[in-house]
Structure 1
Amino acid sequence: MVIAIVVTWALLGLGVFIIAMRGPHGARAAADAGKPKAPSKPGRRAVTAGIAVMFAVGLTVPALVLAFNGENKASVAVGGLHLNAEQQRGRNLFAQACAVCHTLAAARSYGRTGPNLDVRVGVDIPTPAGRKALVLSAIGEGRARGLGQMPAGLYQGKEAEEVAAFVAKVAGH
């Protein structure tokens, strides 16, 4: 659907451009009819064609990038990891409360106050269950280490589980 709309507008724009470059018509052409015509410049057609090609490429390339970038759905995180519904909700919750302090590549967050979760969780803890347990513990109890203090209970219950599931899945990828 998006491709059809973009292609339609690109062709319409190209058509208007080509018509505009054809030369004088109507009243101006009639007024110029009695005047001697200047010899045509041999490069005019080449310049017109070059401008038309640049115009077409300038519209087509961005349109194709936009049209085919639609495959990046919300269920895919950085690194091509597919997220389930719980993990997708966890990603949104992480962005709201955690991304300001923590670095996590899959969330595109680069905080400096809290620990880098790609290293601290993703590398230091080898199992997904262990990663989830650590994150749940940190969310529930808080942390007072490093440059800042993470308050306890930022999320509770289902929301804490969703954030922990997301971080456990993507940390280190």
Structure 2
Amino acid sequence: MLLESYKANGLIWLSNVSGLAGDQIEAFRGDLVIEFGEMHEASQTRNPPKKMIEQVVLLADGGKISFFAGFLEDLNTLEPFAARYAGDFADGATAVIYCVNIDEPMKVTLDGVTFTCIPMSEGLVWNELMDRLYIEKSDLKGQSPEQKIITVAAARGELSFKGETLDFVAASAKTNAAVREFSGAI
């Protein structure tokens, strides 16, 4: 199973939901490692990842990712992400990346996967997906966490994004210097 291999290889940094949602169907919400942190010699544990994709919503069927959404601070991190994970995507998979340092939606194809990249400086991937897919909290009432991910993935036909399709070099040239906005108690 895909999530078991991620866990065994230390690719899961944080897991909010991780489990079977049916026969051969796996659901996951959490953070995935893109680039490992250095090994801490004294304790033989790893330091936090140097790069990761956060707030991932993933649905895999038969060991291949069919639906994926996540958050990146910097669009340039998409290239190492694709290098590590693109082989796990099914043909025609939906892949949505929310990113801080872009101004307009775009589609970027890397390693055979087309990623729809959407600007997002604040907010949460899950909430953004719910809004874009017109899913109300009441639509998810009584469902297990894994079933909720299936419901979101099933509604992906409602995702429509305008934006040009670019290769990675052209997309990278369209980035800006924006950084994530945080708010909270002072």
Whether the TM-score (by the shorter chain) exceeds 0.5 is no
Higher helix share: 1
Q: Which has the higher contact order (CA 8 A, sep 6+)?
A: 1
TM class by shorter chain equals: under 0.3
Q: Could you state the TM-score of these two structures normalised by the residue count of structure 2?
A: 0.21
Q: Could you state the TM-score of these two structures normalised by the residue count of structure 1?
A: 0.23
Q: Which has the larger radius of gyration?
A: 1
Higher strand share: 2
